[in-house]
Amino acid sequence: MNKKNCLILLIFLSILMMSCIQEAPLNPEADILIFSYPQQEMRHVSEIYNDQIVVYPNAGVDINKLAYTITVTSGATNKAIPKATVNDTVFYIQVTSEDKQHSKTYSIIQVGDTFPPVFTFDQWTRYSANFLYENPKDKGFQWFTSNNGAATAFSNKIRPADEYPVRQVSGRGGTGSAVAMVTMQGPGRVLGIKYIPCLAGSTYLGGFNLLNGLSDPLSSTLFGLPFNNGKPEKLTGYYQYTEGKGPYISVKSTHESLIEPDRKDSCNIYAILFESDANVPFLNGNTIASSPNIVARAQISSAEQCPTSGTDFHRFEAAFVYRKPFEWNKLRNNQYKITIVFSSAVRGDYYEGRIGNTLTVDDVEVIYQQATDME
């Protein structure tokens, strides 16, 4: 081979090698993976829910004066943004992906150090952009509702707040607000993943995993918030439950509903105290009834689950029934969590219920024994 041909061959091989050695594409992800404050200043680890980070500082701690530790997806950058409005959001963190094409803004939400004496449902948070629904909150404790899942089921199409299953209505005695939960017609087949013929109204203390919202809805609902007030004795409050005019709808197949015009439905109101640990930070729809971590449960009677008479609110009272001994050391070490759950359909988590049935709840309280009373 002459020198000219060798030179041409070398140039060709160099070009071929350069075309094969390409830079890896830049990462498009913009997520916070880990977020924490100094452990000694917190009564519980921080929790990440989609675009919210919930923090639990000790009483008297100003988290604006604390340095936080953050880990984001590879190559991404982040910056803190001061809050623009007065609410439970302390500040925001904006994460920008390595490829600069995607960004995500997280709200840093501070939860009060003790449970409110009464949940009045007078304060609500309105979501913006495509999320026009509202969720109730009380003194730093944010309630999650089936509105979070409904927004996903409706493919994030813009809808007014009164077209979601959980709504703000006039409170008991015409003062303040109450939370109304309505069983409504579902969207049907969603994104070719899930058939949802019915959406029940539900409200609970905990969180929501948006990633599992359609593929595994029972595991997407995360139940539980830290509870260190004392030993729960009773769950009390006021409610109305009215029957709708629509039929009872359930899932018949992956693309078809079973419609039963005469079938009745019932509501559900209960609370659960459980031990939280590294393996069980929350309960979910699969474990809420059977987890070995459950310590006690308060449940209204089957008679109270039926529609109420008249237009007035009715008082309910349910005693906590203990499955295992309550331990004061675990209370002091913040090992207990509690959830309170309301639903307009007793099997709403399986996308079934009687259309139009409405559960309205107000002035809910967990009555408990303080450590000085019983320890």
Q: What is the pLDDT of residues 72-94, one digit of tens each?
A: 999 999 999 987 655 567 889 99
Residues of the chain with pLDDT > 90: what percent?
Answer: 51
State the chain's mean pLDDT as an integer: 86
pLDDT in tens, 322-361: 999 999 999 998 899 999 999 999 999 999 999 999 999 9
Closest CA to 39 of 64, 68, 65, 59: 68
Over residues 26-36, mean pLDDT: 90
- Res. 129: pLDDT tops 60: no
CATH 2.60.120.890 domain locations along the chain: 114-374
Within 13 A of 53's CA, how many CA atoms are on the CB side?
Answer: 24
Residue 306 structure tokens? 């039926």
CATH 2.60.40.2340 domain locations along the chain: 27-112
Q: Quick one: fold of 114-374? A: Jelly Rolls (2.60.120)
Angle at 180 between CA 262 and CA 220, to 5 degrees: 85
pLDDT in tens, 187-196: 888 767 778 8
Predicted local distance difference test score (pLDDT) of residue 202:
97
Within 13 A of 129's CA, how many CA atoms are on the CB side?
Answer: 2
> Over the Cα atoms of the chain, what is R_g?
25
May I ask the CATH architecture of the domain 27-112?
A: Sandwich (2.60)
State how far Cα 71 lies from the chain centre.
23
Give this prediction's pTM: 0.81
**Residue bearing tokens 């026009």:** 132
Give, for 208, the enclosing helix (H) or strand (E). strand 202-208
Q: Are 49 and 143 in contact (CB under 8 A)?
A: no
